[in-house]
Structure 1
Amino acid sequence: MSIKKIKDIFSFNEIHRNDLLSRLKAEARLITIQDLMQASYFLIEDAQYIQGSYREEYIKAYTMAFIARVKEVKEHPEYDNTSLDMQEVKNALKLLLEQEKQVEDDGFDPVFFQIYKIISLYTTFILEEPVHPVGTSFPGGLKVQYDGEKFLCPVKERQKDNPGAVCGFCIAQQDPETT
């Protein structure tokens, strides 16, 4: 199967994990060091609107979760060719493309958004992990956790219907202690 662009996935009835990984790797290879620097700058600028006590954690978490993971995507070995749930992949991609369209004219950095799309699909469908890594803090000191069986997010329920969030397809479950 040859996928030329991520959005070409809509034309397929079936996709395997390695096929998606190959496409994500190809997309990640197009991201340059200048793109990473631009996306980092965008993150720092965007963080000026974040509560002061949380700002440093926010920048660190998002830099590690999105920007630093580009290298990981590029180097990820192919190892698992299981078939993915096509509807879940299409739903995730549809949400990401809708978000991209919404932010195009809002001054949102397109390079950062490309990284965001790649990493969101990579963590969800390749790593089978939440988009925000375990330990990611949210305001109030709440963190994404792993209890040995499942990933728990303190804000999943409040954000799952937010059209600007990826919570709708993230594999984390709501942390029952923070509902």
Structure 2
Amino acid sequence: MVETIEELDFSRKISKNELLGVLKQEASRIHMHDIMLASAYIQEDAKYMHAGYREEFIENFTKAFINRFKDIREDKGNYEGHINNKKFQEFLEVLNKQIKGSKLRSELYFLRLAKIVSIYTTFILEASIHPVGTSFPGGFKLKFENGVYLCPVKDKQMNTPGALCRFCVSKQDKSVE
């Protein structure tokens, strides 16, 4: 049985259920201390944000991050279909480049956890990478309306090298353009 993301065989179709099993294996190796270090990075990363926005961001993002991680561990769902191997490999390239470039220990822990969470969200749930309600500069928030995730910054981030926006199912919120 495949136990890590790196062991996946991209020469064949990978089912969502197989990927979920691998993510559960990866998640089982994450400890509370790792989550605490990742949370510390979220706080450190947000230190230059506007004060009012910063506190809300840290609280919402940390809560959503931890809840999503818990969801992975407890997910007993049966997911139809296969992942898009090409898109998944491109996604991993972006994430692995970020991990290799991490300078802080807390950043490394955050990126390792974010890798598991973002893969789960993007390829298993096919949901927005950022949680609904995530605030962005300008007071805009990610919304879910009529079965569509609406992101206020999607189009502006599509060509940002380290951004995962190009893989996210969210659509640009046209009311923000």
Match of 2:153 in 1: 155
Q: In the alignment, does 2:99 pair up with 1:79?
A: no
Q: Which aligned segments of 4 or more residues in structure 1 are displaced greater than 4 angstroms?
A: none
Contact 1:70 1:119 in 2 (8 A): yes
Deviations 1:12-43 (A, max 9, x none): 33110001101111111111111111211222
Residue among 154, 161, 164 paired with 2:162: 164
Q: In the alignment, does 2:58 pair up with 1:56?
A: no
Distance (whole Å) between structure 2 residues aligned to residue 109 and residue 13 of structure 1: 33
Q: Which moved more, 1:152-161 or 1:39-48?
A: 39-48
Match of 1:8 in 2: 7
Task: Please state whether the residue corresponding to 1:97 is helix, strand or coil.
Answer: helix
Distance (whole Å) between structure 2 residues aligned to residue 109 and residue 85 of structure 1: 28
Distance (whole Å) between structure 1 residues aligned to residue 147 and residue 107 of structure 2: 36
Task: Please state whether the residue corresponding to 2:130 is helix, strand or coil.
Answer: coil
Match of 1:119 in 2: 117
RMSD of the alignment, in Å?
A: 1.7
Q: How many residues align?
A: 177
1:174 maps to a residue whose letter is: Q
Match of 1:136 in 2: 134
Distance 1:110 1:155, change over 3 A: same
Match of 1:22 in 2: 21
Q: Which moved more, 1:92-101 or 1:112-121?
A: 92-101
Match of 1:35 in 2: 34
Contact 1:21 1:78 in 2 (8 A): no
Distance (whole Å) between structure 2 residues aligned to residue 80 and residue 102 of structure 1: 33
| Deviation at residue 106 of structure 1 after TM alignment | 5.6
Distance 1:178 1:66, change over 3 A: same
| Deviation at residue 56 of structure 1 after TM alignment | 0.8
Structure 1's unaligned 5+ residue stretches are none
Q: TM-score normalised to the size of structure 2?
A: 0.91
Match of 1:174 in 2: 172
| Deviation at residue 107 of structure 1 after TM alignment | 5.7
2:158 maps to a residue whose letter is: K
Q: TM-score normalised to the size of structure 1?
A: 0.90
